Chain A
């Protein structure tokens, strides 16, 4: 048996962007989606497409409506919650993990 050349990588190092997501497993994250949708929830699983399983989720949808009488823009937010949900990766714009201390 030969020794396996296991690269000595600091487990907390961010060497590629997806490491940022990997380090957020089991943490609450913020996800910005297309269509002015935002999610906050606990990251249970993800893959390279950024498909994700989130738990204990709060969804915020921002809608801009035009008041027909005053023609003013009215910004309205709709909130939904879900115990568990699957996010399809192609809608993801940004993922932000909880602030980590120490580098």
Chain B
């Protein structure tokens, strides 16, 4: 792939792999396409975006609905993974 030319390009780019290396072992928010949110510690994930979380909390419409010690989330349901720790 060619180098992105021009301007503010010395600001670090961050590939998905780098992003993931930074967030593994840290608290994440995983949002599903259905709108359901999971918060937990990201154990690991694979190329399908299958995700293993620890200390998982399930939020539906912003309300805590369930807790799971460990949880496997099937990647096709995942909209995004966020490193933020913000709580609403």
Contact = CB atoms under 8 A, between A and B. Distances in A.
Are A and B in contact, CB atoms below 8 Å, in the complex?
yes
A17 B51 contact: yes
B76 A90 contact: yes
A96 B68 contact: yes
B70 A20 contact: yes
Interface of A: 14-21, 30, 50, 89-90, 92-97, 99-100
A15 B46 CA distance: 9
Given A14-B52, A93-B32, A93-B77, A21 B46 contact: no
A50 B43 CA distance: 19
B75 to A, nearest CB: 8
Given A20-B52, A93-B32, A96-B68, A15 B44 contact: yes
Main secondary structure on chain A at its contact with chain B? mixed
Contacts of A89: 74
Interface of B: 32, 34, 36, 38, 43-46, 50-52, 56, 58, 68-74, 76-77
29 contacts: A14-B43, A14-B52, A15-B44, A16-B44, A16-B45, A17-B43, A17-B44, A17-B51, A17-B52, A17-B73, A18-B50, A18-B72, A19-B52, A20-B70, A20-B71, A20-B72, A21-B72, A93-B73, A93-B77, A94-B38, A94-B68, A94-B72, A95-B72, A96-B56, A96-B69, A96-B72, A97-B72, A99-B69, A100-B69
B23 to A, nearest CB: 14
B7 to A, nearest CB: 38
